[in-house]
Structure 1
Amino acid sequence: MITYEAASTNKVTERMINPYAFVVYDENIYCVAYCEHKLDMQTFKIIRIHQVEAMENTYDIPEDFDIREQFPQLGFIREPLEVELVIETPFSNQVKESIYSENQVIEELPNNAIRFKATLNGSHSIKRWILGMGPKATVFGPDDLRKEIESEVEQMLQQYKS
């Protein structure tokens, strides 16, 4: 049983849910669960859950449940993108202490910089993450991502020049 605050209305409701998975997206954690109130799968942002009460009820997650097939429309799972970045301090330290992907590889470079390679999902959140590191991150792959970042930076520069 949870009490949950809706993002659109700020209304707090009580919901009985059966959690199926937890997903990290855009630096937030979400619970994907079957909601007894809606009689459907729903996504709950953890930060909006005010209270949790463990119930004695049990449930089974269907064997064919695959979040990659069931929830692409939520933005959590998108076409995977193989990225390669060089990241300098102070961000290199934060990245070394975090897990962004099961297959991430971090190579130490001079001056505490790192080469970061990983398969990530959600191009919008990837771009926002990279742009948030400013000049301390350089995209080496894929080329399309590098061009999109270059375009964003050029647009930002034009805004400040005019």
Structure 2
Amino acid sequence: MPQSRQLERFLHIDELLRQESCYTQEDLARACEVSQRQIREDLNFLRDRYDAPLVYNRKQGWHYTDLTWRLPSISLSQGELLALMTASQTLSGYGGVYQKELRSALDQLGKRLPEQSRIDLQQLAHERMIFAPRASLSLDPEIWCTAVTATQTSRRLWMRYFTASRRRETEREFDPYVIHISRVNTIYLIGYCHWRQEIRWFRLDRIREIQLLETPFERDPTFDAREYLSQIFQAEVGGDLCEVVVDFDSQTTPFVKERQWHSSQEIELHGDGSMTLRLTATGLNEIKRWLLGYGSGAIARHPPELVKMLQDETDVMARQYETG
């Protein structure tokens, strides 16, 4: 007998016995859709192996003499369950990825806790901890599931993809190596594009149509996903790996130095409270946008390409805000 079926039946029996109804052995067998003999074996197993405080009498039927007893089938502390509840809220910013499934799992796990503990945790997770998500994604659940299946089973994908920079759709075949969930609430498929014949990134929310093909693929043995991702600044890929040097003034420094922006970063603090940040990464466009967010508090020193990009951008912005 599959162990998962037995566990599912134990959970069902446990749920029934916590109700105020009177259940006989025949009632339990009917509810679980098994024989009375099987139910008898289950009840004996719960009593003998799990020390379940089970008794039977004509008035109450099968019942627990101590309702504080809990099935030891899943051992989770209150802190671990709270962590899962927190993860459920965190995932809400990713277009509801696995949110329904996680919510169902939490409901089942919560039943294993005493009632007051469950109420306290739910109140803490949903009323006392408020997440302010960034711009949330709109993901098609079918596209998400197809992408996950293709990545897990190493099968090629056909997709129709919208490229925002060119504002047009293209069709291509693609071997998905890895799914990258970035820190800026964006989900990417990374792998080999047969049209471009190179490793490419595709935002999952820009895939308009997708099909799982029967064609299997083998990953490039020289591709190391963690090493590859360590080269980007946050989420955007492109360009050569280069050293970036930025000076931050004393007013901006406290807000920058408190975070680890990149694994390669080095910070040099100066006597006047300012700092110099050095890191090695790709994606100068993304770094440019990040630095613009600090206004005059950040000055790029290297590479020259980044300095020129910021000069051009601020020149255009200055002209746009001119009043005549």
* TM-score by shorter chain over 0.5: yes
Q: Indicate the residue corresponding to 1:147 in structure 2.
A: 308
**Which consecutive residues of structure 1, in runs of 5 or more, have no partner in the other structure?**
35-40, 46-60
Shift of 1:151: 1.4
Quick check: which has more Rg, 1 or 2?
2
Which residue, out of 104, 111, 116, partners 2:277? 116
d(CA) in 2 for partners of 1:159, 1:89: 29
Cα RMSD between the aligned structures? 3.8
Q: Counterparts in 2 of 1:4-153, with a 5 A limit?
A: 7=137, 10-13=139-142, 15=145, 17=148, 18=152, 20=178, 22=180, 24=182, 27-28=184-185, 30=187, 32=189, 64=221, 65-67=223-225, 68=228, 75-76=236-237, 78-153=239-314
d(CA) in 1 for partners of 2:180, 2:290: 20
Give 1 or 2: higher helix fraction.
2
d(CA) in 1 for partners of 2:220, 2:140: 34
Q: 2:262 aligns to what SS in structure 1?
A: coil
d(CA) in 2 for partners of 1:33, 1:161: 42
Conserved? CA contact 1:23–1:76, under 8 Å:
no
The residue type paired with residue 91 of structure 1 is: T
Deviation readout 1:116-138 (Å, 9 max, x if unpaired)? 01112211111101111100001
CA change 1:28–1:118 in 2 (3 A) is farther
Calculate the TM-score normalised by the size of structure 1: 0.61
The residue type paired with residue 15 of structure 1 is: C
d(CA) in 1 for partners of 2:314, 2:202: 36
CA change 1:141–1:33 in 2 (3 A) is closer
Calculate the TM-score normalised by the size of structure 2: 0.34
Conserved? CA contact 1:100–1:120, under 8 Å:
no
**Which consecutive residues of structure 2, in runs of 5 or more, have no partner in the other structure?**
1-96, 100-135, 153-176, 192-200, 206-217
CA change 1:86–1:23 in 2 (3 A) is farther
Give 1 or 2: higher strand fraction.
1
Q: Indicate the residue corresponding to 2:322 in structure 1.
A: 161
Shift of 1:31: 6.1
Larger relative contact order (CA 8 Å, sep ≥ 6): 1
Shift of 1:29: 5.7
Q: Percent identity?
A: 21
Q: 1:82 aligns to what SS in structure 2?
A: strand
Q: 1:111 aligns to what SS in structure 2?
A: coil
